[in-house]
Structure 1
Amino acid sequence: MTTPVVSVRPLVLPVPGRGTDLQVRVTAPTTGTDLPVVLFAHGFGKSMDDYAPLVEHWAAAGLVVLQPTFLDSRTLAVTPEDPRYAHIWRTRVSDLGHVLDALDPLTAAVPGLPGRVDRSRVAAVGHSWGGQSVGMLLGARVLDEDGVPGESLTDPRITAGVLLATTGTGEELTGFAAANFGFMRPDFSTLTTPSLVIAGDADQSRLSTRGPDWFTDVYRLSPGATDLLTLAGGEHSLGGISGHGVTETTDESPERVALVQRASTAYLRTALGVDAAAWPAVRAADVAPVGRVDSK
C-alpha cells in the first residue's frame, strides 16, 4: 500500500544579499510521526519541481523532503554576465544551510505536518552539481590552484548523504572545465559523513578526460562513502531520475530508476534510524543485471 504524500510550493525564504528570494518545495507523507528530513540538491539548470521519481518515493517511505531552487536554475535565468554567477557553487551550499535554518517555518507551512518532523535526523542528497554541493556539507573541500584545501563547509546537522552521479577529482578536467569551473577540484579525504554513492558505468562526462569511473572517485577517496551502487548502462540521468519522461534522459530505464529508488530509500531509512535492516538487505541482495553494490 502506498502512503499518500502532500507537496507544497513555493515556500519563499528572503535571503539578504542573494538578490533573489530562495524558493523551496516541501514534500511529505500525510501520515506518520517523528519523520526524518532529506535535504535535496538538484543538478545544473533544474529546480524544486524536478526529481519527482525520487522525491515522491522517499516521501511515501516516511521522509520529509526539502528541495530548494538554486540560482543556476533555468527558471531564474541568471546568466554568466550576472556578478553572482561565478560564485553560484558557493551560494548553493549556503542555500542548503538556509533551508535547514528555516526547517521549522518551512515544515509548519505544510498542512498537517507541524509536530510530526524529527529535526534531529537529517540527511542530504544531491545529483550531479547537487552532489558536489551536498559533498561540501558532508565534509569535502575545494582545492585551490596550489592544491591547498579551502575552508570546511561541513554541516554537523547532516548525519548521512547520498551522492548521485557526483563529479570526481580535478586532475583530469577538460580545458573548458578547468578554465570555467574552478570549484571542480574536490578533496574527498575529509568527507567523513556516512554516504552512499550511486553512479552509472556508461556516464561519460564532457567535463573530464576520464571515463565513467570518474563518478566513483568520491567512493574510492572518501572515508565516509562506504557504499557504491553502480548501474549497468547507466548514464548521467541514472535511467531518468530527474523526472517522468524528461527529454534529456538518454538512458531511459524504469528498471534503473526503480533500483535507485529502492537503494536510496533503504540507505536513508537505515542511516536515519528508521529501519536498521533496510540497507543491509539491499546490500546483500543480487541486484544484477541492473546494477552492483560494493562496500568497503
Structure 2
Amino acid sequence: MEIKINAPTPVVSVKPIVLSAPGRGEDLLVKVSAPTIGSELPIILFAHGFGSSLDGYGPLADFWAAHGFVVIQPTHLDSRTVGLPQDDPRKPRLWRFRVEDMKRILDQLDLIESAVPGLSGRLDRSRIAAVGHSFGGQTAGNLLGLQVLDPETKKGEDLSDSRVKAGVLLATAGKGGANLTPFAVENFPFLNPSFANMTKPTLVIVGDQDNSPLTVRGPEWMTDPYFLSPGDKSLLTLFGAEHSLGGIAGYEVKETTDENPERVALIQRVTWAYLRHALDIEHDNWSAVQQTLSESANPLGRIESK
C-alpha cells in the first residue's frame, strides 16, 4: 500500500512579518510559507529548536507548504539571531516567552493572513497543529497540554490552547529532576515537564541514537512524551537517528551529525499523513504509512500507537 501524496505546488514565503509584542522586549518576527493554490488550508505553527530562527527547518516547512499546509515560523528569543546577553533578565522565562509567541501568532492571524499576497480567505482556522523540534517540542507541547513544573512548588500551569487540535513533537525532552545531567540542571532549569495533561492527539518522533547531553537516560528519555501522556498518541522511532533526525533543522546545516535524506523524506511524509489524519482531513494515508513501515524489509523506523 503506497502513500498517496499529492503533487507539490509552488509556494510563496513572506518574512519577516512583524508582530508587536509589548512586554517581550523585541517585536516578534514571523515567516509564513503557503501554497499558491488551494482553499481551506490547515495551519502548522512551528517552534524551532534552541538557538535557531524562522529561517530554519526548510526541509520540513517547504515540504508541508508544497503539500497543502500554511506553515508559520516565529523567531523565539533564544535565537542566535536575537543574541540575548548571558545576564539578560528574560533568560529564566525563555520557555514561557516561547509559548506566548505561539499564542500571539494565533491572536493575530488576521494580520498575518493579510501580509501574505493571495492568502486572504484561504485559511482553515479550525485545523491548527503545533509542531516543534527539541526545545521547540516542549513549546508545542505546552499548547497541547504539557505543563512545566515549578522546581519549588512542583506545580504546573495549564497553557494549552483550544485553537490547537493536534501536534508533532520531534526529539523532545522527557521528564526532569533525576533524569537530567548536572549540565542540564544548571543551564535549563525549565526542563521539568509533566505530560499528565497532554491529552491532544500527538505524534512523538525520536531517534534511537539521540544521546543527549541533557539526560542520564540515553535516547529513550525522548519517548517520555509518548509513554507518560494520556489519550491518542503515536510514536515513530527512527533507527540510527541522532538529534537532528537526519537533517530536519536545515539544508546542509553543521549541527546535522547524522545526515540522511531518506530519513528526512520519511519524516516529511509521516508528519504530513499524521497531521491530515489528526486534523480530520483524511485518514487513508496515515493507515498507508503505518502499513508501509510494518511491511518493509529494511524499515527506517517503526510506528506504534495507543
Scaled by the length of structure 1, the TM-score of the pair is 0.97
Task: Tell me by how many angstroms 1:146 deviates.
Answer: 5.0
Taking only aligned residues, the RMSD between alpha carbons, in angstroms, comes to 1.2
Residue among 241, 249, 256 paired with 1:242: 249
User: Which aligned runs of 4 or more in structure 1 are off by greater than 6 angstroms?
Assistant: none
- Give distance in 2, aligned partners of 1:258 and 1:59: 15
Offset from partner CA, 1:161-213 (integer Å, 9 cap, x none): 00000000013101121123221111101100100000000000001111100
Task: Tell me by how many angstroms 1:225 deviates.
Answer: 5.4
In the alignment, structure 1 residue 277 sits paired with structure 2 residue 287: no
- Give distance in 1, aligned partners of 2:171 and 2:85: 25
Structure 2 letter corresponding to 1:85: K
Residue among 9, 19, 27 paired with 1:21: 27
- Give distance in 2, aligned partners of 1:81 and 1:179: 14
Residue among 80, 95, 100 paired with 1:94: 100
Which secondary structure state, in structure 2, belongs to the residue aligned with residue 145 of structure 1? coil
Residue among 59, 66, 82 paired with 2:88: 82
Q: Please say which of residues 274-283 and 250-259 is displaced more in the overlay.
A: 274-283
Task: Tell me by how many angstroms 1:226 deviates.
Answer: 1.3
In the alignment, structure 1 residue 58 sits paired with structure 2 residue 41: no
Residue among 29, 42, 45 paired with 2:48: 42
Q: Please say which of residues 66-75 and 218-227 is displaced more in the overlay.
A: 218-227
Q: Please say which of residues 99-108 and 122-131 is displaced more in the overlay.
A: 99-108
Which secondary structure state, in structure 2, belongs to the residue aligned with residue 285 of structure 1? helix
Contact in 1 for aligned 2:129/2:165 (Cα 8 Å)? yes
In the alignment, structure 1 residue 162 sits paired with structure 2 residue 168: yes
Offset from partner CA, 1:89-109 (integer Å, 9 cap, x none): 110001100011111110111
In the alignment, structure 1 residue 183 sits paired with structure 2 residue 193: no
Same amino acid, percent of matched pairs: 58
Scaled by the length of structure 2, the TM-score of the pair is 0.94
Structure 2 letter corresponding to 1:97: K
Task: Tell me by how many angstroms 1:261 deviates.
Answer: 0.3
* Matches for 1:129-208 after TM superposition, within 5 Å: 129-146=135-152, 148-170=154-176, 171-208=178-215
Structure 1 letter corresponding to 2:187: N
Offset from partner CA, 1:230-253 (integer Å, 9 cap, x none): 111000000000111111100000
Structure 1 letter corresponding to 2:257: T
Contact in 2 for aligned 1:26/1:66 (Cα 8 Å)? yes
Aligned length: 296
Q: Which runs of 5+ in 1 are unaligned?
A: none
Contact in 2 for aligned 1:80/1:86 (Cα 8 Å)? no
Contact in 2 for aligned 1:126/1:164 (Cα 8 Å)? yes
Residue among 109, 119, 135 paired with 2:115: 109
Q: Which runs of 5+ in 2 are unaligned?
A: 1-6
Residue among 120, 130, 137 paired with 1:124: 130
In the alignment, structure 1 residue 220 sits paired with structure 2 residue 227: yes
Residues 58 and 72 from structure 1, CA distance in 2 versus in 1: closer, same or farther, beyond 3 angstroms? same
Task: Tell me by how many angstroms 1:274 deviates.
Answer: 2.1
Contact in 2 for aligned 1:149/1:187 (Cα 8 Å)? no
